[in-house]
Structure 1
Amino acid sequence: MILPSVIDVIGNTPLVELSRVTRSLGLEGRILAKLDYLMPGFSKKDRAARSIIEIARANGSLLPEQTVVELTSGNMGTGLAIVCGILGHPFVAVMSAGNSVERARMMRALAAEIVIVPQASGSKPGEVSGADLALVDQEATRITLERDAFRADQFGHAGNPAAHETGTGPEIWDQSGGEITAFCDFAGSGGTLAGAARFLSPLGVRCYAVEPQGARALAGEAVSTPDHPIQGGGYAMNDLVHMRDAPIADYLSVTGEEARENARLLASREGIFAGYSAGANLAAAIQLLRGPERGGCVAIVMCDSGLKYLSTDLWE
């Protein structure tokens, strides 16, 4: 089959069992990994990028050749750079200086304009906090107004969770033969978790939010440690639009070190070269099989590629 563009490659990623990990750890149950890092932009955000732009073009909120602006840790920006480039929209990615340099370089290669925002006072390089994200949002808002652009708004646009309610969730269910009992995901914008949960929860699948230890804002806890190395999420935001009324069974936490160790475990045991958030998802799935989901079947998403972290301490 010859496809008309790379946009048509987005979605329908493989689902693989992490049997080597479960055996090596002596776990009772199964972990299934959705390989979204294999998409054109090397991340799950390609789904939301396509969905938001297609909806906006269809309803007229995005006009032909109009500029698109969005804040990003790099993954959403990469997806938008691909979709916008093919559909004829200039794209401006606004990101924190705390994000890995590989992401900015990839977006530039895809013809995006990159605006780097300095980190908030006291922030650590390589770790993007909620305060850093707020500064990025301010700059993205300014540029949107200045250029009369369309703001993709991954944290608010309904196209984000819709991509996972109609894509990720159904794909996991169908590919697993309806065998999964639980799903967990590291929360960034909340789009993947909320969207997939809205499809999976009515089918009896328990869905869990994953947050960094010390920054469990969604769980309703006071934030004591907002800084962590898991880029792309864990911003200590307790009022994510997409998570409102999402059917969440419980809230899990992982440390940065657990995310790092499990990303390395994915690479060494399963040949899956993914990033920090994929490691966080695996750590959470292991928690579930050692606890409330013992003997069950937990699905997780491999959110992005390990190639985006070569300049960080993930692969030292």
Structure 2
Amino acid sequence: MTGQSILDVIGGTPALWLDRMVAARGLDGRILAKLDYLNPGFSKKDRAALGIIELAETQGALHPGQTVVELTSGNMGTGLAIVCGQKGYPFVAVMSRGNSVERARMMTALGAEVILVDQIAGSVPGQVSGADLAEVDRVAQQIVAERGAFRADQFHHVGNAQAHFETTAAEIWTDSAGTVTAFADFAGSGGTFGGTVAGLRAKKAQVRGYVVEPEGAAALSGEDVTHADHPIQGGGYSMATLDFLRGTSVDGYLSVTGEVSRDIARALAREEGIFGGFSAGANVAAALELLAGPEKGGVVAVVICDSGLKYLSTDLWD
């Protein structure tokens, strides 16, 4: 792929069959891993960032030179820093101090103004809760009002899910030669799950969709939240509803512990050479569980959401 701008090479990421991992565990079926950590910003959020900004431009909601503001765990902020930098929009990323420092440094290097928000009392560094996110959202709203800015609003802006409908789903379908039977994804904004499942079902209505959540914070499945703090950054915020899941049939919910996510992320690096983050470990752990259960003999697609380079200051690689 050759482009005139870095924006031209967002998406179109390679995919890899995780046959080594599946065979080593004696499972029946296949896992297709979409390597979105190879996007320019090292995460799947580059797709959503480009989708939101370009749709806002088309709709006239974003004006030339206007400031863009968004709350982020770091990945959407990195994507927006790249997109806004190329298009000439000042960008302000608002992020909890509970997220890894690599993310803030990367956004700053890409030209973003980064505002770090203290965690609420009792929160654990490295473990961002829904309450922490709510405080980040409050600060983001305040900055939008003060600066007359455009809010990218990844939890609600249709450009998020639309990007995954148009690109991620289409690529997974092609990468799997139309053999994919299920898609599983760790829920953050829900845009990847909602958009990708809808896109895959437009190709084949029988494709099943599974939402992945942290154990103890599986609010979307209807469970009581007993452990809102967890190390799987970028999602699992104990939200009972997500806009992008409304109207999308969910075939099942899986919960994964931080420990299992960590172990599988490390196994991905050793066994498959994939240097992904915590949520990549959660997604592959869920896919392995599915092949041992309801998707035995099937083809489960997952996204490797971001790079392990964003977690060097955490215990993921200790």
Q: Shared fold (TM-score greater than 0.5)?
A: yes
Report the alpha carbon displacement of residue 2 of structure 1 after superposing the two structures with TM.
4.3
Match of 2:150 in 1: 150
Match of 1:300 in 2: 302
Q: Which amino acid aligns with 1:21?
A: M
CA displacement, residues 132-162 of structure 1 (integer Å, 9 cap, x when unaligned):
0000000000000000000000000000000
Q: Which amino acid aligns with 1:68?
A: V
Report the alpha carbon displacement of residue 170 of structure 1 after superposing the two structures with TM.
1.1
Matched, 1:56 2:56: yes
Selected match of 1:228 from 208, 227, 230: 230
Match of 1:243 in 2: 245
Match of 2:264 in 1: 262
CA displacement, residues 73-105 of structure 1 (integer Å, 9 cap, x when unaligned):
000000000000000000000000000000000
SS in 1 for 2:183: strand
Match of 1:271 in 2: 273
Q: Which amino acid aligns with 1:194?
A: G
Matched, 1:184 2:172: no
Give 5+ residue unaligned stretches, structure 1.
Answer: none
Q: Which amino acid aligns with 2:105?
A: R
Q: Take 1:226 and 1:287, find their aligned partners in 2: how far apart are those partners?
A: 23
SS in 2 for 1:3: coil
Match of 2:126 in 1: 126
CA displacement, residues 103-122 of structure 1 (integer Å, 9 cap, x when unaligned):
00000000100000000111
Q: Take 1:201 and 1:235, find their aligned partners in 2: how far apart are those partners?
A: 27
Q: Is the 8 A contact 1:198 1:247 kept in 2?
A: no
Report the alpha carbon displacement of residue 174 of structure 1 after superposing the two structures with TM.
1.2
Match of 1:23 in 2: 23
Match of 2:292 in 1: 290
Match of 1:193 in 2: 193
Q: Is the 8 A contact 1:194 1:247 kept in 2?
A: no
> Which of 97-106 and 1-10 deviates more?
1-10
Q: Take 1:2 and 1:210, find their aligned partners in 2: how far apart are those partners?
A: 34
SS in 2 for 1:218: helix
Q: Take 2:218 and 2:309, find their aligned partners in 1: how far apart are those partners?
A: 28
Matched, 1:217 2:219: yes
Q: Is the 8 A contact 1:34 1:301 kept in 2?
A: yes
Match of 1:85 in 2: 85
Match of 1:98 in 2: 98
Q: Take 1:236 and 1:161, find their aligned partners in 2: how far apart are those partners?
A: 20
Q: Is the 8 A contact 2:2 2:9 kept in 1?
A: no
Q: CA RMSD in A?
A: 0.8
Report the alpha carbon displacement of residue 49 of structure 1 after superposing the two structures with TM.
0.1
Q: Is the 8 A contact 2:67 2:150 kept in 1?
A: yes
Structure 1 residue runs of 4+, over 6 Å off? none
Q: Which amino acid aligns with 1:239?
A: T
Report the alpha carbon displacement of residue 247 of structure 1 after superposing the two structures with TM.
2.1
Report the alpha carbon displacement of residue 248 of structure 1 after superposing the two structures with TM.
1.3
Give 5+ residue unaligned stretches, structure 2.
Answer: none
Q: Is the 8 A contact 2:163 2:195 kept in 1?
A: yes
Q: Take 1:185 and 1:3, find their aligned partners in 2: how far apart are those partners?
A: 29
SS in 2 for 1:122: coil
SS in 1 for 2:63: coil
Q: Is the 8 A contact 2:182 2:209 kept in 1?
A: yes
SS in 2 for 1:65: coil
Match of 2:73 in 1: 73
CA displacement, residues 270-316 of structure 1 (integer Å, 9 cap, x when unaligned):
00000000000010001100000011111100000000000000000
Q: Take 1:67 and 1:56, find their aligned partners in 2: how far apart are those partners?
A: 13
Question: TM-score, normalised to structure 1's length?
Answer: 0.99
Q: Is the 8 A contact 1:215 1:226 kept in 2?
A: yes
Q: Take 1:265 and 1:282, find their aligned partners in 2: how far apart are those partners?
A: 10
Q: Take 1:239 and 1:38, find their aligned partners in 2: how far apart are those partners?
A: 30
Q: Which amino acid aligns with 1:267?
A: A
Q: Which amino acid aligns with 2:144?
A: T
